[in-house]
Structure 1
Amino acid sequence: MNWNYEDRTMPGTFNYILHNDYNDKVVNVSVLNEHRFAFYYWTKWASLQAENVPSTLVSLDWHQDLAPLSEMECDDLTALNRDDFNEVGIFTAYKLNPCNDGQILAAAYLNLVSKIYVLCKQREYDDIFPFTDYLGKKHNGKVFYTIDELIDCLKKDDINSIYFDIDLDYFTESKDACGGGVDVKLVNDEEVVKTISPHSPLMQLILPKLKGMTIALEPDFCGGLRNSNHLFNILDNNLFYPTLLNELQIECSLR
């Protein structure tokens, strides 16, 4: 069998193409250990889908992940051949910020996403943050601290399609300024289900417009693999049928 790189995944990640019953289209779902690897999939999806209007990025994360880009990072992004997924993969692994907090504005700089909405618990940057893409066009992204604020915005804004990005550490509580730490605790399972259930107010707005989904496991900030796996199992049981990475994967779909 001859492998086509376009069918491969980044090391340490899994990628699925599922059926989205909410719009009768296919949806890409990628599971990652390190959050910055989402950049590879956002780049790949944007290249292959070639939409006139890039998708809106909706991100749930304990952290904001909005580290500003340096001038050198902008130069590297401008030089990146986005249609060469081998090059994009190497760039994602070895040139993106290894702190896993630069992938969102890197995607915004390349105009891979049109709007950015971040629901988080960390208060580091302004609630409305400006950014400029490589063409010099100015944009504003928004940070939210409650689901209701995000829902109200999604209802009002004109959104064509969505990349939904979940870092599992969103479902943790931590007193550490950087998140995680020795005292990190998981929120109640009921709160996780209330957020990501297909019948929740948030998911009812996202699923009909969903084109791609990235799930960052980030066990370091969840209190270890056991906690991260616990959260992933809740998400997997509520959103996918049958479970991801099963022998019937070709028939797997969103619930």
Structure 2
Amino acid sequence: MKNDHNALRHLRLAGVIRLGLGGGRGPTDAYVFDPHRLALPAWVLALEAVGAPALLVTLDRHLDVVVPERPAAVPDVSAGLRALDEHARWELDVRNYDHILAAMEAGIVGDALLIARTRPRGAFAGDTYVDTRGRPHRLVTVSTVDRAAEAWNHPAPGDAVREVLEKAERVLLDVDLDCFTSLSDADPTTVLPWPRAIIREFLLPEGSEPFWDAVLEKTVALTLAREPHHCGGLLAGGALFQDAAEVLFRELLRVEPP
């Protein structure tokens, strides 16, 4: 009964859907939720069997590296799933941009490879974040998958994509659905979801296969934040999820979409 209880612990995480991804390449589990800060407890679950920390590879429209309001108050990963789930829901910012550094504070994430196009106000600007426990964490930032793949295939001086990937023992692959959106030039409050062809062009550019092979061979779980309020609303976000899932699951991970 103990093993059955542990296997169903994800059912305690309200709003987090766990998916089995058997038969493809890369992770065997995925966790889908709406607020991106719920990645925190999902990462705890994903790493229970293999140990923390992991390299975080995240794709997002925004760099979610704002320092938590009370970084020293983030529970350590040893405090367990319930403590970190509660902290994510009640202590982290509802704007969903401080969960990555919170995960570093908790000892869940070591270094991070951040594929993102915009930097929110207040985002940490350095390339090394030292948490309140004195541990350094590298933040390697590139704007597109194409740029990450180029840095993997042909590193230029200063490129660190290959370095952090080769150093990592395990990877958490994280995707915010709003990565596949843009703001309208005519009205900056209007979100424009990308069509499937543009999602494919961004996620699977020519020459990216060696980069993705390096990521997926170490990936223990995929986390996917739907964030409908950043994706044009519930209906537009649902349609975007369908298009993104076809590319992300069927073409990248080579499994059936959820």
TM-score past 0.5 threshold:
yes
Match of 2:181 in 1: 172
Match of 2:101 in 1: 105
Q: Displacement, 1:198?
A: 11
Q: Distance in 2 between matches of 1:22 and 1:235?
A: 17
Report the number of matched residues: 234
Cα–Cα, structure 1 residues 108 and 14, in superposed 2: closer, same or farther, change >3 Å? same
Q: Displacement, 1:3?
A: 5.2
Length-normalised TM-score, structure 2: 0.78
Q: Distance in 1 between matches of 2:88 and 2:136?
A: 24
Misfit runs of 4+, over 4 Å:
1-5, 124-128, 197-200
Structure 2's unaligned 5+ residue stretches are 154-161
- SS of aligned partner of 2:92: coil
Is 1:11 equivalent to 2:14 in the alignment?
Answer: yes
Cα–Cα, structure 1 residues 198 and 145, in superposed 2: closer, same or farther, change >3 Å? closer
Q: Deviations over 1:183-240 (max 9, x none)?
A: 2212232121234459953534422222111111011011111221122112322315
Match of 2:127 in 1: 129
Match of 2:38 in 1: 37
% of aligned pairs identical? Answer: 22
Structure 1's unaligned 5+ residue stretches are 245-255
Alignment of 1:103-252 (within 5 A): 103-124=99-120, 125=123, 128-154=126-152, 156-157=162-163, 158=166, 159-174=168-183, 182-196=189-203, 201=209, 202-238=211-247, 239-240=249-250, 241-244=255-258
Is 1:28 equivalent to 2:29 in the alignment?
Answer: yes
Q: Distance in 2 between matches of 1:89 and 1:103?
A: 11
Q: Deviations over 1:121-178 (max 9, x none)?
A: 21344664321134312222022113232224445221332211111111111158xx
Q: Displacement, 1:42?
A: 1.2
Q: Distance in 1 between matches of 2:212 and 2:81?
A: 30
Q: Distance in 1 between matches of 2:188 and 2:41?
A: 28
Length-normalised TM-score, structure 1: 0.79
User: What residue identity is the alignment partner of 2:138?
Assistant: N
User: What residue identity is the alignment partner of 1:40?
Assistant: P
2:85 to 79, 82, 89: 89
Conserved 8 A contact 1:172-1:187? yes
User: What residue identity is the alignment partner of 1:190?
Assistant: A
Conserved 8 A contact 2:10-2:18? no
